[in-house]
Amino acid sequence: MAAKFTAMNESFTPKQIRPNGNAAGLRFALVVSRFNSFITERLLSGALGALEASGAPEESIAVVRVPGSFEIPLAAKKLAEGGQADAVIAIGCILRGETAHFDYIARHPLYPRIAQSEMMSASKGKPIHLERIVTKYFRPLFMSIAEVLKEGIASGDFRPVDPWHFIPSMISVIVFYFTSAPAMRMMSGIDPFSPERIAQRRAAVLEFISAALFLCSTSDSTGARS
């Protein structure tokens, strides 16, 4: 049996496709942040070295410098959509320290809009990055939440909701707060991203979702569900 398996294993040679690593004839654009240049310049040097080693000619490489990581997505999107490069390489560095730069980048409403732009591009027949985003992030998260919902329904804790409707509705309640933050700031004069407002919003969302999801719930004196 072992000999038969060994013979079968040696004869089983599926076709393998590997990149040849030849960058000749391709155009590259590197978008590099000037902020934290002591790191980004080293990353740029390594990227240029890798391209040179792969046979990319100097005239086919363009280095686009932007002030910081905040500007990288817009510059990269312009290059990708403009057909100026076969590949766009983004190089930036955000260090969490005493400044609020990290939090500003992470929470800025421009970034959800970029994700929304990719979602909308699917209706136009050109979802450049959407398939990778869905496969790597959306689908695993969706399936995990759906499994929790199914377990809760089976145990009698949750209402018999349809995950394909409930999950998008739940996500919309969370995401819309951030996408509408600029208008909310204009209307109220209050920063929607302040720690106090974020904490209040989190509590409100949990209360809203709990009311829609749980079959039975109890409330304490503060109105929080348990």
Edge to edge, what strands does the sheet with 28-33 contain? 61-66, 28-33, 87-91
Q: How far is CA 201 from CA 148, 173, 206, in A?
A: 23, 10, 9
CA–CA separation, 92 and 94 (whole Å): 7
CA–CA separation, 69 and 103 (whole Å): 12
Hey, what are 217's tokens? 């719930």
Strands annotated E in the chain: 28-33, 61-66, 87-91
Helix axes 139-155 and 163-179, enclosed angle (nearest 10): 120
Q: How far is CA 195 from CA 115, 198, 199, in A?
A: 24, 5, 6
Residues taking part in catalysis: 101
CA–CA separation, 100 and 73 (whole Å): 19
